Amino acid sequence: MKRTIRATALSVGALIAALGPPAGAARADSTAPRIDLRILVVSDGGPATDAVAAELDAAGTPYTEVDLTRSDRPTVDAAFLADTVDGRPRAKYQAVVLPNDNPFAAGSAEMAALASYERTYALPQVDAYTYARPEAGLQYPVSGGYSGTVDGVRAQVTAAGQAGPFGYLDGAVPFEDNSPSVGESYAYLSPPAAGADFTPYVQASIPGTSKQGSLVGEYRHDGRRELVVTFVYNQYQQQFRLLARGIVEWMTGGVHLGAARNYFAVHVDDVFAADDRWDTQLNCTPGDVDCTGGAGTPNPIRMTPADVDYATAWQSSHRFTLDLVYNGAGSVDQREDNNGVDQLADKLIADRDQFRWVNHTYTHAFLGCEQNTTVVPWTCRTDADGSTKWVDRSTIDHEIATNRAWGQAAGLPLQSDELVTGEHSGLKLLPQQPDDNPNLAPALADNGIDWLASDNSRDPEQRKVGPATTVSRYPMNVFYNTGRAAEQVDEYNWIYTGRAQGGSGICEDNPATTTCLPSPLNTGTGYGDHIVPLETRIAFGHVLSNDPKPHFIHQSNLAEDRIAYPVLNGVLDGYDTLFADNTPLVNLRMKDIGTELQRRAAWKTALSAGQVTAYRIGDAVTVQAPSGVAVTATLPTGTTLGGNAFGGAYAGEVSGWTASSGSALTLTLPSSAVAPAAAAAAETPATRPAPHTKVPAGMTEQVPYTPDS
């Protein structure tokens, strides 16, 4: 049946969006409305809208939040949503996110204003988590659908989803099921309602039937477009993290400020050195400062040439590069003790171009305060007046410069302005050392260090230390003093069980610790059954969170049982099964990670201060930011800036950073990037309020664990 377009139902701006500019028309059409590149997030305090806001925050995409739980919130009316600038109609927001399809009271003027706004400017609405019902384009669950837990369900992206906003996924969307005793996800699964213009993008099987029910889909009605999401989630859950990019791309039409990529980098510390081994009888590490009184005999762990061969083959098969963080004195000591022979160093140096290399100081010396190790835990030594005794500047200089010289003599392809100090020492370390070593900053300047590693579990924010900027690294809970799985489990049991079970009691002293064990793990199976899945999930969560910070392990974990690889395989192989080839993992070296974090911080500051202006008129996008603040955006493939291609390809679009001089930048979208058009329909009243949607108890509290040691 031929549809008659009723022009009276669309504004001039919507008609232009629907029809597109005529051939040869100017990019900034004189009659097109201005659409500001900002999202309106209307929140009810629930986890779903908070998750969408967190995704926008992480990407650097500006938004305005209206909290419906606050009595002093602004009223959402026509003046709040739109106005006129320089004689041109302006939409203040390019998309609207609501907690459900209608969170307002019956007959709400605010919902009517939103519906009118969306029709007028052909702007989309995301229903962050709503009940399946005809008003949202779906059948009621009681009519052959399903409502209940979807823990462990393996949903699928539909052909329409892959051809549209979720084309960066290979197809599967697995839902987490991390605890059999906790309901982690709840959903309404229903087919489209009879006669509804509804396109499922992500769906799953309805239990007990051969039918599919929608979890994410697009509903077109009343001149409006809604993305209808019918499962509850929080910002940390894998299923949301997999779909978050597509939700943002759908609501922005692939035109927005900010960018997101999936990053993974792994630093391997103490290369060339040997790591002291955990003693399963003493429950400490002989040779370590906290294993005092001459207890035990050190039995160090050190890689072999065969471990290097394994590492290079593993890298090749996974298209991934490890960062080897090295201590040259480890090889010097080995040669002195073995008549000049060090087969490991010979092999690593021969294969040096297979890896990236980072200076880890010459001897791995502690570069903070002078340590008093006669007590457990150790303390800082003090002068007679009580002031802290610090490792001096010349010692720090020697550790940095000698290791660099050793690496250069070995032909290692170094980035000489990167540094990882032993144990991140020199930086503040609570509770013993609340301040940075004052001699650290001048020593960094002496040696031209611009990027200094810090431990994310104790120093997560990027900051300046003299001339250097920190790069926080995530510690993996794969311990430096273990080369065998049984040792790892034994130490894990000791740390995370109670004193009555022979453990350290850390969980009794710190009940908030999330890795506490109800009983010790089996030393034969506990690593593969418990530790590997948990550490894989934590690291994978970072990968899916647009987080470029590197993870770090130790050379001991690539030796003997090679216990790091099951975790790394879990991340990399898991990623390959979920993402399309157009969305590869980004594997940056430390300096580039630091630069990315630095740019993000400056961008976030400029956004918070209201110093960024960005809008779209037709096929022209204009962005203005303070001088020196790089601009970041995600745009359709074919976008140009000054006649040159903008950004780099990722996930079916282009994104990246571009320098700003303080003047307005004008980006030209490809002719194919026509703004989404509203469906032609007569204006109708807003739907009645959405019914209550269920949120499983405890779901919002489930967050990933980051090791604190």
Q: What is d(CA 199, CA 144) in angstroms, rounded to the nearest whole number?
A: 18
**151/204 same-domain check:** yes
Helix, strand, or coil (residue 301)? strand
What 3-state class would DSSP assign to 371? strand
Asked if pLDDT for residue 580 goes beyond 70, the answer is yes
Q: How confident is the model at residue 542 (pLDDT cuts 50, 70, 90)?
A: very high
Q: How confident is the model at residue 30 (pLDDT cuts 50, 70, 90)?
A: confident
In a domain, 86, yes or no: yes
Least confident of 294-298, 486-490, 530-534: 294-298
Report the distance separating Cα 501 and Cα 493, nearest Å: 9
What's residue 28's pLDDT?
54
Q: Does pLDDT of 290 surpass 90?
A: no
Separation CA 605–CA 592 (nearest Å): 20
Quick one: 612 and 684 in the same domain?
A: no
Section 462-471 average pLDDT:
98
Per residue in 497-518, pLDDT tens? 999 999 999 999 988 888 899 9
558 φψ region: left (φ > 0), alpha (ψ -120 to 50), beta (else)? alpha
Count each helix (H run) and each strand (E run) in the chain, helices first.
17, 33
Cis peptide before 377 (omega within 30 of 0): yes
**Predicted confidence (pLDDT) at residue 25 exceeds the cutoff of 50:** no
For position 511, what pLDDT does the model report? 86
Same domain, 689 and 609: no
Does the pLDDT of residue 8 top 60, yes or no? no
As beta bridge partners, residue 43 has: 67
The answer on 168 and 247 residing in a single domain is yes
Residues 655 and 681 in one domain: no
- The reply to whether 706 falls in a domain is no
Same domain, 624 and 680: no
The DSSP code for 579 is: B
As a whole number, mean pLDDT of residues 26-42 equals 84
Is residue 204 within 8 A of residue 213, CB to CB? The reply is yes
Looking at the chain, the whole-number percentage of residues with pLDDT higher than 90 is 85
How confident is the model over 595-617, as a mean pLDDT?
Answer: 98
Query: What pLDDT score was predicted for residue 180?
Result: 85
> Cα–Cα distances in Å, from 119 out to 18, 114, 226, 540?
12, 9, 11, 39
- Measured CA to CA, the distance from residue 118 to residue 340 in angstroms comes to 76
43 domain-assigned = yes
Lowest mean pLDDT among 112-121, 371-380, 518-527, 698-707: 698-707
Query: What value does the mean pLDDT take over residues 514-539?
Result: 96
Could you tell me if 27 and 74 lie in one domain? yes
Alpha-helical runs (H) found in 579-653: 590-608
Report whether 301 contacts 286 (CB < 8 A). no
User: Which range among 360-364, 393-397, 418-422, 695-699 shows the weakest confidence by mean pLDDT?
Assistant: 695-699
Q: Are residues 162 and 235 in the same domain?
A: yes
Question: What phi and psi, each to the nearest 5 degrees, are found at residue 532?
Answer: -60, -50
pLDDT at position 684 is 57
pLDDT digits (tens, 9 = 90+) for 142-191: 998 999 999 999 999 999 999 999 999 999 999 999 988 888 999 999 99
List C-alpha distances in Å: 450 to 4, 14, 444, 464, 558.
64, 51, 8, 9, 29
Judged against a pLDDT cut of 70, whether residue 706 lies above it is answered with: no
622 domain residue, yes or no = yes
Q: Note the pLDDT of residue 695.
A: 81
Task: Give yes or no for residue 412 having a pLDDT over 70.
Answer: yes
Instruction: Give one word for 626, left, alpha or beta, with left for phi > 0 and alpha for psi -120 to 50.
Output: beta
CATH number, residue 218: 3.40.50.880
Model pLDDT, residue 374: 87
Please check whether residues 644 and 688 belong to one and the same domain. no
The answer to the question of residue 13 being in a domain is yes
Q: What is the C-alpha separation between 494 and 496, in angstroms, rounded? A: 6
Residue 397 lies in a domain: no
β-sheet bridge partners, residue 613 = 624
The residue among 14 and 436 whose pLDDT is bigger is 436
281 in any annotated domain? no
What DSSP element (H or E) covers 18?
A: helix 12-19
Element (H, E) at 54: helix 47-59
pLDDT of residue 648: 97
Question: In this model, does residue 7 exceed pLDDT 70?
Answer: no
In this predicted structure, what is the pLDDT of residue 514? 83
The verdict on 142 and 195 lying in the same domain is yes
Look at residue 435 and tell me whether its pLDDT is greater than 90.
yes
Q: What Å distances lie between residue 251 and 244, 569, 653, CA to CA?
A: 11, 34, 15
Evaluate if residue 344 carries a pLDDT over 60. yes
Q: Which of 248-262, 293-307, 395-409 has the lowest mean pLDDT?
A: 293-307
Alpha helix segments (H runs only) across 497-583: 506-509, 526, 532-543, 564-578
The confidence score (pLDDT) of residue 456 equals 97
Q: State the angle between helix axes of 305-318 and 343-350 in degrees (0 to 180), rounded to the nearest 10.
A: 30
The total domain count for the chain is 2
Q: Which residue has the higher pLDDT, 140 or 298?
A: 140
Mean pLDDT in residue range 111-121: 97
Is 516 a member of any domain?
Answer: no
Whether 690 and 619 share a structural domain: no
Measured in Å, how far apart are the chain's first and last C-alpha atoms? 67
Q: Cis ω on the peptide bond leading into residue 431 (within 30° of 0)? A: yes
Backbone angles phi, psi at 363, to 5 degrees: -110, 5
Q: What are phi and psi of 82, to 5 degrees?
A: -150, 160
- CB-based contact 47:695 (threshold 8 Å): yes
Same domain, 634 and 687: no
Please check the confidence at residue 23 and state whether its pLDDT lies above 60.
no
- Phi, then psi, of 139 in degrees rounded to 5: -70, 155
C-alpha distances in angstroms, 58 versus 52, 67, 235, 258?
10, 20, 11, 8
User: pLDDT tens across 609-668, in order?
Assistant: 999 999 999 999 999 999 999 999 999 999 999 999 999 999 999 999 999 999 999 999
> Residue 258 pLDDT more than 50?
yes
> Average pLDDT in the 323-347 region?
98
Domain that includes residue 639, residue range = 604-668
